[in-house]
Every structure is written in structure tokens, then in C-alpha cells.
Amino acid sequence: MLTLNTRRRFVTRACAALAATAALTALAPVAHAQDKVLNLYSARHYPSDDQLYALFTQTTGIKINRVDSDDAGIVARLRAEGAASPADVVLLVDAARMAVADAQGLFRPIKSAKLDAAIPAHLRAAPTPQGVTWTGFSTRARVIVYDPLRVKAEDVATYEQLAAPKLKGLLCTRSGSHPYNLSLFATVIERLGDDKGQQWLNGLVANMARPPQGGDTDQIRAVASGECGVAISNSYYMARLIASDKPEDRRVVERVRVVFPNQATTGTHVNIAGAAVARHAKNLDAAIAFMEFLASPQAQAYFANGNHEFPAANGVKLDNPALRAMGADHFKADTIPLAVVAKNLTKVQQMLDRAGYK
């Protein structure tokens, strides 16, 4: 049995423990309220992004909680979560995908003088009285890759020439319905008009060396192997091959050439990787701070170079040897607003179906 003194000591210790627990419980909400966090849903998966997020936390004291998925997975998750979603900022890698998510009401418009000053208007969603829903923070060019033994550079100087009869049986692309191609096709058709645009798509299909398949790197390799004479690719896929030290990649680079199309006319089509504040963001101030941070010169270097892309912010210079090796220092980029292009995606998909573009 416990002695009287033992019972007294037990009760004293128990009371002290309960008091300590109560004190911690009382302090917990205060500590939690002082935590600054940002919940990020990201379709970007590059090692340099970890450094980017660490820099943001170091600069602002805001901790980033990240969920990684592909674009489709992120959009599906946002829709399923609805108002209960913890997402504050969403990173996606294509203007078409940004536009689709925006049309579903998944983004929150914001106003930011810093973003207005840093990012060109054509790389952002169309402004509304409530603000802007999405912003591009890096760009990539949709280039033409060709075999110099089979195709002359002057015959692939524009996107429009890809439908010319002299390229019959030489063209390779990924699926026409892929967002990278949808954005390009919507741009060209916006310039040409619907009738000529349909004729152009019909010409692309007539020139195919094989049914559309694979990704952009597969198209480049197919040109190098002789299966195709010309292909369409995002610039960073070619830059990755240039930066590679693998012998097989070096052989591909030596066999092909790159054209930045439409330099004498409208300029080369560019797409974006961008961000938006989630519709139901709970940490709005942190979300806007992160968006503004991405437009800073220091962050632009991480954001763009992590995937061999181009900085989007005004006044930030290209610093990427692989892109410079492609002659990308001073190419003329098309400045048609991506928001204008994005609104035509459904129409373009219907035109692709009529053309039989898989």
C-alpha cells in the first residue's frame, strides 16, 4: 500500500503534470497562429525549385508545404476539394492548361503593382476589375527541328511552311491535342483566320511521316535517326540534349539543326510555366507574396534555368549556355496575348478533329 507521504508526492506530481499540459495547450493556438505557411500545388519537378522555395522561406519566413502532381492531377484535386482545398498557389506548365483551370473557376484574381510592372501583359491572363488570375513566370519557344541533309533551312523558316507540299512525308509531331501543340495551333490560327487555319492543319496531316506519337524529345530523336525530316519541339527539350554528356544525346545534337520560326513576321510562338492563386486560398497574403517573389530577378534565375527556359520578367537576362548554343539570345518572340489564344482552344480542337489530326 502507498504510504501517506507517497500518496501526497504522487498527487503533487500529477497536479504539476496537469498544470504543465494545460499551459502547453493554452500556448499551442498562439504558436500555430504565429506560423506563416504557404500551401503549394506544383506541376514542376526540378531540383532547382527546392532551392527556390528555400530562398523564399529564408527571405520571408514563410514555410512552403508542397504537393507535387501533374497538371491534370492538380486540376482534378482542386475540383474535388472545392472550398475545403488547402491550396494557396498553383503552378502549372502551359498556358492552355492555365486557361482550362481558370475557366473552371479554380483561380482567384489578384491585384499586384509589382507583377504588373515585372511581367509583360501578353504573358498573363486578361485583366478584369477584380484583378488577374494567372501569370507566366518563364517562357519556352516552340521551335522547328530539321535534318539539314534532307531539308533546307529556308523551307522551314515559318510554321506556315510546315504544311507546304514539298515537306510531304517528312513531318513528325506529338499528338495534336497535346496542350503544347494546342497553344501553338491556336496562335497560328488566330493569325491566319479559321478558313486558312483549317487548310494549314489539313496540310500538316498530309505531310506526316508517321502518326503523331511520343513526346517532343522523341520527335527530335526521330529527325536524327532519319525517320523524319522535320519536327516541332519546345526549346527546352533541345536544350536538355545540348546540356547532356551522354554520347547518344551528343550524336542527336550533331545530326539536327534548330530554327526559331517566323523571325521575319510575327515571331516565334512562346508558351509559359506560370502560377495562380487558388480560388479558396486561406493564406492570401503569403500567396501574393510568393507570386511577387517569383517575378524577382533572383527567383527568375532559379525558375527559368531549372528547366532550360527563358526568364519572363522584364529586364532579366538569359543566362543559360545550352539555350545560347541554340542561338536563343536574341530571337524575336510572338507577343500575341496568350489569354486571347487560350480562349480558342475548344475551336482548335474541333478543327483538329476535322483535319484527322490525332
Binding site, by residue number, is 45, 236-237
DSSP 168-180: TTTEE-S-TTSHH
For residue 135, report the phi and psi dihedrals to the nearest 5 degrees: -140, 135
**Cell numbers at 197, concatenated:** 487555319
The one-letter code for the residue type at 7 is R
C-alpha cell, 148: 539539314
Contact at 8 Å (CB) between 141 and 260?
Answer: yes
Contact 130, 107 (CB under 8 A): no
- In the annotated binding site for Fe cation, the residues are 45, 236-237
Largest Cα–Cα distance in the chain? 105
Cα(128)–Cα(289) distance, integer angstroms? 20
**DSSP secondary structure letter of residue 289:** H
How far apart, in whole angstroms, are the C-alpha atoms of residue 345 and residue 352? Answer: 10
